[in-house]
Structure 1
């Protein structure tokens, strides 16, 4: 069963030089419980695509369905984790999570219970009363991911969530995300600039062209789960990394 189905999606924006087409007819599918990554050159429309899926923008043409229902015209059909944690500084960690659940339609008492249980499950309960400014970047992203994970939507959109972290913290966060995803197996569409990250996390990798963007390459990742950092040293990992790098270079 497909959680996300996109057919012929097009989007353009009006700029000083006229109208610029960013997405030129994107077709993609994310299956139930599948982890799909999007790679593409800078400016290829990856974040625009997530905005359309999340209902923050409307498409010019094409069809977008989440769990079989038409989407793209209203916010809220997918849980969204942005590049920055985007936690409200005047709310505690638990307050941020509860607010997201309330917006998603949970009752106040249920939102509180789910937030408390989620923090305990991830071993983050000691941060429940903390405010975001006292947390490290990696810890803020953990809270942001938990907030998305607890949302009831069947699809999670992750927009370069580890891009601002240092290399060591980024690797730790990848392993942390994998361990949680293995338990939950939510459908994920993950935007990243890192080929290694895409190979480590994904079931499939899609490569976007330069604008007007289309999908120009699809790779089924062959490595079994669960995965660890040892994967980086395998010859096949290096071969696939080189193939994807060549595909991206050809789009510049």
Structure 2
């Protein structure tokens, strides 16, 4: 099992002013599994990511990554944020190489892998460019590649396409599925888009409003590789409607 987050509770503040954000929820990601979490705004999805990544301690509960208890420990996940967070003073290749060397790769291997993968994702000609010349979709490709090449067994994707326009977002979803099919890394995605969750995932976890609890989990039955026409199929839209109804619950 790549991830087990068990009975996670998180309260902020003390006494009458305390606010419980996570209400004892449990989530898991199998080896090579792509899982998405959807929930209302303010339901604690980002807080859950911080706890899994060791940036925030849970009030109660445990986190296990790769069979090891990692509660409160950093360095066990790779992370793709909403904004790419590339260093503007380093080239595209330099950003990826820095991430890999920090993760423990020697510089020569980091350079070789960076060059090879930038070519594979169609950005080889931008290796020596700086982030400000890239489009939003290109920037997120680099951000995703940086996480993909990191040695950690689990990737957390926090609304990575949320800032993109609709067409670019769809193109990035298709691109992500094609790259993920090659690597089959364990992935946990947070998204507000039900369509995105169903299109990308093996399983979708639906959270309640804060304090967040798991309302229901859906095994996504559609075969891979996913087809663009999937969006129009009755079974796809029936699952989308069911999840939408759950999210509307008070």
Matched with 1:71 is 70
SS of residue matched to 2:20:
strand
> How far apart are the structure 2 equivalents of 1:160 and 1:221?
20
- TM-score, normalized by length of structure 2? 0.97
Deviations 1:102-125 (A, max 9, x none): 221222222222211221222211
Partner of 2:20: 21
Cα gap change, 1:16/1:167 in structure 2, threshold over 3 Å: closer, same or farther?
Answer: farther
Query: What CA distance in whole angstroms lies between the structure 1 residues aligned with 2:71 and 2:46?
Result: 14
Instruction: Write out per-residue CA displacement over residues 67-122 of structure 1, whole angstroms, 9 at most, x where no aligned residue.
Output: 01111322210110000111011111011101111221222222222211221222
Counterparts of residues 196-207 of structure 1 (less than 5 Å): 196-207=195-206
Further displaced range: 19-28 or 9-18:
9-18
Cα deviation, residue 16, structure 1: 11
Distance of aligned partners of 1:235 and 1:110 in 2 relative to their CA distance in 1, 3 Å threshold: same
Task: State the shift of 1:7 in Å.
Answer: 0.9
* Other-structure match for 2:159: 160
Structure 1 unmatched runs, 5+: none
* 1:38-68 deviations in Å (ceiling 9; x for gaps): 0000000111111111111111111110001
Please list, as runs of the form range in 1=range in 2, the aligned pairs for 1:202-213 lying within 5 A after superposition: 202-213=201-212
Matches within 5 A, 1:114-153: 114-153=113-152
CA contact (8 A) 1:83 1:162 kept: yes
Give the structure 2 partner of residue 92 of structure 1. 91
How many residue pairs align between the two structures?
250
Partner Cα separation in structure 2 for residue 17 and residue 160 of structure 1: 33
Offset, 1:228: 1.8
Secondary structure of residue in 2 paired with 1:26: strand
Q: In 2, distance between residues paired with 1:109 and 1:74?
A: 29
Which aligned segments of 4 or more residues in structure 1 are displaced greater than 4 angstroms? Answer: none
| Map of 1:39 onto structure 2 | 38
Q: Counterpart in 2 of 1:3?
A: 2
> SS at the partner of 1:176?
helix
- What TM-score does the superposition give when structure 1 sets the normalisation length? 0.96
Taking structure 1 as reference, are residues 172 and 15 closer, same or farther at Cα in structure 2, changes over 3 Å only?
farther
Cα distance, 1:115–1:180 mapped onto 2, change above 3 Å:
same
Deviations 1:7-48 (A, max 9, x none): 111112228972211111111110011000000000001111
| Equivalent in the alignment of 1:171 | 170
Q: Give the SS at the match of 1:216.
A: strand
SS in 2 for 1:226: coil
